[in-house]
Amino acid sequence: MRSFLPPRLLASPCAKILGWTLVAAVLFFPFFVLQAVDQNGVMSLAAFTYRPYLLAVFGVFLALCGVFFLPAPLRALGQSCPDFAVSDVQKKGLQVLLVVGLLILPLVSNRAELDLATVVLLSIALAWGMTIVVGYAGLLDLGYIAFYAVGAYAYALLSTGYGVSFWAALPLCALLPAVLAFLVGFPILRLRGDYFAIVTLGFAEIVRTLLINAQSITGGPNGVAEIPRPTLFGWGAADLDERMMMLYVLALAWAAVVYGLMRRLRVLPLGRAWEALREDEIAARSLGVNVHRMKLSAHVIGAMIAGICGAFFAAKQGFVSPESFTFLDTAFLLAMVVLGGMGSPWGVALAAILIVALPEVSRSFADYRMLFFGMVMVLVMIFRPGGFATARRPSVLYKPASGEQPS
Amino acid sequence: MLELGYFLQQCLNGLSLGMLYGLIALGYTMVYGIVGMINFAHGEIFMISAFLAFLAFVGLQDAGVMSITLCVLGMFLFSMAITAVYGYALEAVAYKPLRSAPRLAPLITAIGMSILFQNFVQLTQGAQVKALPPLLTGTNVLGMFDHFAVTLSDTQIVLFISTVVTAVVLYAVIHKTPLGRAQRACAQDAKMASLLGISVNRVIAITFMMGAVGAAVAGVMVTLYYGVLDFYMGFLVGMKAFTAAVLGGIGSLEGALLGGVLLGLIETLWSAYFGADYKNVAAFGVLIFVLMVRPSGLLGRPTLEKV
């Protein structure tokens, strides 16, 4: 494969800029300049629809991706960004501040803000659940949303159809996804990782198809409405404010439970086995880790958390439909986990806040927000491939006994 | 319902759908063979190519080109050329900077690029579904079975021919040319190939472009065959095509086509006899079953684990 131009010319920045301008022109010409419009039932081209803003956005995006010039200095900047290097005292202070902030939030915020905070907390809990599967055990589960859907529908159908209370339904909402995860995972987890990804993707699609088509049970595309809100000892049903407060408190408590679970699991032998097989499956197996059983346990525990998150979601919305459980939702979750740094709870929480709250805040340019979202996903990955919190701190440290000198 | 004619007709329709899947699956399987990752944005490349074909068609009609042959040819050339550039740009923007990144990072950029492509097309072309009048309207009766005429439409003939030509060309490139030798070398061991003087980056870029051309053929054919497109069509079709690639054995060209045809047949026959509601369930059910019995797909070779 010889090229016709001298290599030095091709490697020069000028040639690169020229080449990519040409490429960009070819890419954008048909879509920017030509637009098919319906004129009385006959399609014809409306030429030269001029879109300067969109063009500028794409120019900046391509430039930032580093296709025009050498991105090395820029990228080094991104990678050398301090890794949230905070001391233990600062960390404690931040945590106390955060907890106090979360506790007084319902007292100072209006309904819309409280609602958004509840959504964010539930998303964080769900993203943490997925972190166990994807971040700890390294299983690329592209159908995680299906277990969320099963939990949500389980509570919705049990409460509307059989009058089961929220707290009585909760164990079932965890059990059902767990059994499903076991049945799906058992044969498939023996295979290589990518096959697991595609099978879970297919599984999510199957679940969604069933939800849409089994009209007599699930209500089809219309979903299930008028799901009763949870109450605790008679509290939480008096008026809208009390109900929202109740949901916020529940979401906060549940997020705290998942956080505790994550921290505990990570230092248990189970969590260490997950990390070992994520880093090197063959090495883990030769050290005596039962790989299949460990993968299955991560998958099932992740599904249980997703199921309970689903029940909370159904209780919060009061309405579920297959619309809420598409692949895009899995993609958003995965983005939270990976952008957050694969296994760092605070990084994942930060990414979840950004991903859930930003589109809500930026409603003013609604048309462009998904476009920006896609671009930001690409750019963050290019500049920080490991996510926001990249450091892989060892979860087990050798502590020298007293008297022994650390080497 | 269990008539021979009906069955044969459904088989032909399934074969057509399967070839579309197979054409897109070629791109998945080639990229996976060389880079070892799922190019999740490939479905959107297909969607883009269908829109390009659509724009080319409308443009040619506006320009007053009446000859159907010229029209179809123009659609193919326009769509294939620009889609190839899209494949190149996708690789350069989303995958090239992440060659040495953690395994999941390129997946996230791929999802980001999918969202980007979808919204790009939605913003510039509008969100409503585009419908196209059928361009090739002729049908040929192949035979009569109990008063049921089995027909093969002109569009299907064009689809069969273009699929076979694309597959043969890709096969020839990979097995008979220096470029193909470089591609096979990179698939076996990219580091070793680069030590031997192969520009791995260039080979990967060309592979993405070849895959995009395959998707473009499918995009043009979808425009001609169904004539209905929207900016969201890439997702499900891309997922099915990837399923086809895995079904046939990922990394093998023949496997991609075989998997595509099988998937198309399963889907069409299931719809014909059991209704269209659960055709996706059937398709993915077969995938799960095949993977359980033959983890490397129908024509794939079992991979050795390297330490």
Distance (Å) of CA A188 to CA A196, A299, B291: 6, 11, 8
With an 8 Å Cβ cutoff, is A334 touching chain B? yes
Do the chains contact at B98 and A381, CB–CB below 8 Å? yes
Per-window interface: A 6-25 vs B, CB < 8 A = 23-24
For B14-42, the pLDDT digits (tens) are 999 999 999 999 999 999 888 888 888 99
Selecting from A30, A54, A373 the residue whose C-beta is nearest the C-beta of B52 gives A30
A-chain CB neighbours of B112 within 8 Å are: 335, 373-378, 381
DSSP structure string for A277-340: HHH-HHHHHHTT--HHHHHHHHHHHHHHHHHHHHHHHHHHHSEE-GGGGSHHHHHHHHHHHHHT
Distance CA A30, CA A46 (A): 11
User: What is residue B300's DSSP assignment?
Assistant: P
Can you give the pLDDT at residue A78? 59
Q: Does A319 touch chain B (CB under 8 A)?
A: no
Share of chain A above pLDDT 90, in %: 19
Going by C-alpha positions, the residue among B37, B76, B12, B54 that lies closest to residue B233 is B54
Size of interface A-B (CB pairs under 8 A): 183
3-state DSSP assignment of residue B3 = coil
Mean pLDDT of A35-50: 68
B47, B99, B100, B107, best to mutate vs chain A, most A CBs in 10 Å: B107
Instruction: Give the other-Cβ count within 10 Å of B258's Cβ.
Output: 21
Query: Which has the higher per-residue pLDDT, B110 or A109?
Result: B110
Task: Find the closest chain B residue to A330 by CA distance.
Answer: B111
**Residue A258 pLDDT exceeds 50:** yes
Instruction: Give pLDDT, residue A25.
Output: 79
Rounded to 10 deg, the angle between the B279-293 and A166-188 helix axes is: 50
Binned at pLDDT 50, 70 and 90, residue A255 comes out as: very high
Q: Is B112 on the interface with A (CB under 8 A)?
A: yes
pLDDT of A1:
47
Task: Calculate the average pLDDT of chain B.
Answer: 87
Distance CA B40, CA B32 (A): 11
> Which of A45-59, A228-242, B210-224 has the largest mean confidence?
B210-224
Q: Return the CA Rg of chain B.
A: 20
What is the distance between the alpha carbons of residues A48 and A33, in angstroms, rounded to a whole number? Answer: 4
What is the predicted pLDDT for the residue at A82?
53
pLDDT value of residue B165: 95
Of A44, A187, A385, the CB nearest to B98: A385
Of A13-17, A55-59, A241-245, B61-65, the one with minimum mean pLDDT is A13-17
The predicted structure's pLDDT at residue A400: 66
Q: Is B201 exposed, middle or buried (0-12, 13-18, 19+ CB in 10 A)?
A: middle
**Domain at A112-355: CATH architecture:** Orthogonal Bundle (1.10)
Distance in angstroms (rounded) separating the CA atoms of residues B12 and B268: 9
Residue boundaries of the structural domains of chain A: 7-80, 112-355
Tell which wins on pLDDT, A379 or A365.
Answer: A379
Contact A387, A347 (CB under 8 A): yes
Q: Among A48-52, A194-198, B72-76, where is mean pLDDT lowest?
A: A48-52
pLDDT of residue A309: 95
Find the CB nearest B295 among A43, A195, A335: A195
Output the pLDDT for position A36.
72
Give the burial string for B209-246 (b: 16+ CB within 10 Å, else e): bbbbbbbbbbbbbbbbbbbebbbebbbebbbbbbbbbb
The ipTM estimated for the assembled molecules is 0.85
Mutation test of the interface with chain B: which of A51, A192, A198, A217, choosing the one with the most B Cβ atoms within 10 A? A198
Q: Per the CB < 8 Å rule, is B93 touching A386?
A: no
Confidence of residue A276 (pLDDT cuts 50, 70, 90): confident
Cβ atoms of residues B108 and A384 within 8 Å: no
Beta bridge partners of A340: none
The pLDDT value recorded for residue A61 is 82
pLDDT above 70 (res B207): yes
Tell whether B155 lies on the interface with A, counting CB pairs under 8 A: no
- Measured N-to-C along each axis, helices B178-188 and B154-176 cross at an angle, to the nearest 10 degrees, of 80
- On whether any CB of chain B is under 8 Å from the CB of A2, the answer is no
Question: Hey, what are B259's tokens?
Answer: 């998997």
> Looking at residue A85, what is its pLDDT?
53
* B87 pLDDT more than 70: yes
B2 pLDDT higher than 70? no
**Chain B residues 53-82 with CB within 8 Å of chain A:** 54-55, 58-59, 61-62, 78, 82
What count of other Cβ atoms lies within 10 Å of the Cβ of residue B21?
29
Q: For the ranges A92-96, A123-127, A264-268, which has the lowest average pLDDT?
A: A92-96
Q: What confidence tier does A136 reach under pLDDT thresholds 50, 70, 90? A: confident
Q: In the beta sheet, which residues pair with residue B152? A: B140
By the CB < 8 Å criterion, does B51 face chain A?
Answer: yes
B10/B12 Cα distance (integer angstroms) = 5
Instruction: Return the percentage of chain B with pLDDT > 70, whole number.
Output: 97
Condensed to tens digits (0 to 9), the pLDDT of residues B132-171 reads 887 777 888 877 777 778 888 888 999 999 999 999 999 9
pLDDT band at A203 (very low <50, low <70, confident <90, very high): confident
Mark which residues 86-105 of A lie under 8 Å from B by CB.
none
CA distance A372 to chain B (A): 8
Write down the pLDDT at residue A407.
46
Distance CA B208, CA B130 (A): 27
Q: Which residues pair with B151 in a beta bridge?
A: B141
CB contact under 8 Å between B104 and A342, yes or no, is: yes
Contacts of B305 in chain A (CB under 8 A): 282
What single-letter DSSP state applies at residue B275? -
Report the pLDDT value the prediction gives residue A295, as an integer from 0 to 100: 92
What's the mean pLDDT in A69-95? 62
Q: Answer whether A228 touches B (CB < 8 Å).
A: no
pLDDT band at B307 (very low <50, low <70, confident <90, very high): very low
Contact present, A330 and A147 (Cβ < 8 Å) = no
Q: Does B108 touch chain A (CB under 8 A)?
A: yes
Cβ-defined contact of B92 to A67 (cutoff 8 Å): yes
Residues A11 and A18: their CA atoms lie apart, in Å, by: 11
Instruction: Enumerate the H helices of A189-268 as residue ranges.
Output: 193-213, 215-218, 240-267
pLDDT tens, residue by residue, A382-402:
877 777 665 555 555 666 666
Q: Which of left, alpha, beta for B266 (phi over 0: left; psi -120 to 50: alpha)?
A: alpha
CB count in 10 Å sphere of residue A61: 19
Neighbours of A76 (CB within 10 A): 11
Q: Name chain A contacts of B178, Cβ cutoff 8 Å.
A: 1
Looking at residue A393, its pLDDT comes to 55
The tokens for B208 are 């993405």
Question: How many angstroms separate the first and last alpha carbons of chain B?
Answer: 55
Average pLDDT over residues A368-381: 81
Rounded CA-CA distance B53/B82 in Å is 10
pLDDT tens, position by position, B92-102: 888 888 887 77
User: pLDDT tens for residues A61-72?
Assistant: 887 776 655 555
SS3 A344: coil
Helix (H, G, I), strand (E, B), or coil: what is residue A51?
A: coil
